[in-house]
Chain A
Amino acid sequence: MPNDPWTTRRFDFAHLRIPTHTQPDDESYCVPYALWMVVQYVKNEHPSDDVRSDTRSLSVDEILDFLDPDPLLGWQPNQSDLTEVSAYVSGVSFSLEQWRRNPPRDLIELAEERLENDLPIIAFIDAQLLRRGIRGNGPLHAIVVAGLGDDNAVIADPWFAALHEVPQDKLKDAWDPSHHQIIDVAVNGNTSSGGGN
């Protein structure tokens, strides 16, 4: 019997059972932790037995070895690091997508498309704008979008130990203002991504 990766236990609307982990000390570890959460989700919760068995576990330290984020500057987003992680875990592939000018869809629409296929999305957001509502050159931070309700979204934020509900408008607004980057998640070579440029 296939797994049901969805739950409504904590929020009014369903969200994927993304395991949450807090990055302990280093502010720059958000991308490795976001990837780790997604790999764990696919390995343990994805509805397909084949996908789960094809996915190889890895530790966050192994992901850190692949990405090597700078503690003061953050990760330098690049596909090559993600390709290495994808090759290692085998069942999941990660691709860096970006829309340099106006993206054809907003972050919520992109997430919705992926969630329909039981997959989360990793989005880069202006942390200061999302957390404090302050507009102006906040650092970019990676979060995992795990579910969408009518007005709110459930996110796994590696800076905190639990899933959070945030207004969708706020999330859309805080999405990476210059590059509109996401890390797209695909399983067994099938992605639901519309792709970026």
Chain B
Amino acid sequence: MSVTTISEEEARRYAEDVVRSELGMFLRLGGGEYNEHENEYRFDLVVRSPKLIRSATNEGVTDVRFFSELDLGQVTVDGASGEVERPNIPTIKAKIRDQEEQVEIAVRKALVSAAGHRFAHLPFPENQYAPLEDILAHVLLHGSLSMDDISMMDSDRENQRYHEYVQNLLDLDLLSQDRNTLTAGDVLIGIEDECESYQETINTAIGRYFEHNLGEFDMINRTLGPYLVIASHYYRRALELEELPLIDEEELRESIVSEYSGKERRQKLMKFYRYLVHLENVGILRSVNQGGQRLWVGDDEVDEMLREQTEYLGPVQTLLA
């Protein structure tokens, strides 16, 4: 039978010493409990990571905010020997990085939800997003699309992708299905009535798709790629600073550097200025010349709609002001 020789207070001190000297000064111990069966004390290991909010000009820090408390596992102290065990550093760091990533994802989702209709007007090349255009154009111009035509079109993998898009468009009433035949749904008919060209109809429908299909966020994130990276970097800064700041072009370029690596980074950097031109063209960012320097500013309406996306931004509000 094991004998407890150390008190909870002592155990906490042992655990705190290990956390401070082996992990780092950002980490703290939360609540603790004694497990009689194992004869050990267990303390929650937590962190509230600080986040510096830089001024729009990057010349200083305007505020510091704190992530919500993150559970990093438990530190255990043997009730007899006082031996301390803690989670390993790679596991701890992965959890902290994941928390930071969740904030970025929340902002991107909120931005797509707020400005999907503008993103949809970006001039995308033939890519993952093209099937949506294929399906919508077919239905709009030909009047209907047979599911058999999709099934016989290409490889199983490609067909599967088209079928997934069809299902999403059906869910949004952009398409309607009668047995094997797809036609324009009520929502698409309504959009067509309001638009003056097929391209505008398709873009508006795809915007609706972006705004409502955030369950498919990974795909949307990949599709919008560098456009969303640059735009979300800007609007996250706008949320943090509670205004539409004038941001240096170099800072926007850095967002590409942070997101991509290797060959992909070089490719995206080569296309960086084109991305800016396109983002300006669809009204997501706007260039401003100030003292001979080109700076970038966001759009009031996008910013306003973004701030209304509490479903996504609510959980990370403490960081965003």
Chain A residues packing against B (C-beta within 8 Å): 22-23, 25, 27-28, 31, 69-70, 72-78, 100, 124, 127-128, 131-132, 134, 136-141, 159-161, 178-179
Contacts and interface: CB of A to CB of B under 8 A. Distances in A.
A157 to B, nearest CB: 9
A136 B69 contact: yes
A139 B60 contact: no
B20 A22 contact: no
A55 to B, nearest CB: 26
Given A22-B60, A72-B49, A178 B24 contact: no
A139 B50 contact: yes
Interface string B3-22: 00000000001001000111
Given A27-B49, A127-B50, A72 B96 contact: yes
Most chain B beta carbons < 10 A, residue from A23, A124, A138: A138
Nearest to A124: B25
9 contacts: A28-B24, A100-B13, A138-B48, A139-B48, A139-B50, A141-B25, A141-B50, A161-B60, A178-B16
Contact of A139 (B21, B29, B47): B47
Given A27-B51, A72-B24, A134-B66, 9 more contacts: A31-B25, A72-B96, A73-B24, A73-B92, A73-B96, A127-B64, A138-B28, A141-B25, A161-B60
A128 B52 contact: no
Nearest to B44: A137
Contact of A73 (B16, B69, B89): B89
A93 B72 CA distance: 35
A75 B26 CA distance: 8
A74 B24 contact: yes
Q: Could you tell me the dominant secondary structure of chain B's interface residues? A: mixed
A100 to B, nearest CB: 6
Given A27-B52, A178-B20, A140 B25 contact: yes
Interface of B: 13, 16, 20-30, 46-52, 54, 60-61, 64, 66, 69, 89, 92-93, 96-97
Contacts, number: 100
A61 B60 CA distance: 19
B24 A27 contact: no
Nearest to A69: B24
Nearest to B94: A72
A139 B20 contact: no
A76 B52 contact: no
A137 B25 CA distance: 11
Interface of chain A, main secondary structure: loop
Contacts of A141: 25, 50
A73 B22 CA distance: 10
Given A100-B13, A132-B66, A76 B25 contact: yes
Contacts of A159: 50, 52, 61, 64
Given A72-B93, A160-B60, A178-B16, A139 B52 contact: no
Contacts of B27: 73-74, 139
Given A27-B49, A76-B23, A161-B61, A178 B29 contact: yes
B61 A22 contact: yes
Nearest 4 CB-CB pairings of A with B? A73-B24, A74-B26, A74-B24, A139-B26
Contact of B22 (A75, A76, A132): A76
A22 B64 CA distance: 12
Given A127-B50, A139-B50, A178-B16, A75 B64 contact: no
B26 A73 contact: yes
Contact of A25 (B47, B52, B64): B52
A100 B69 CA distance: 24
Nearest to A126: B28
B21 A137 contact: no
Contacts of A161: 60-61
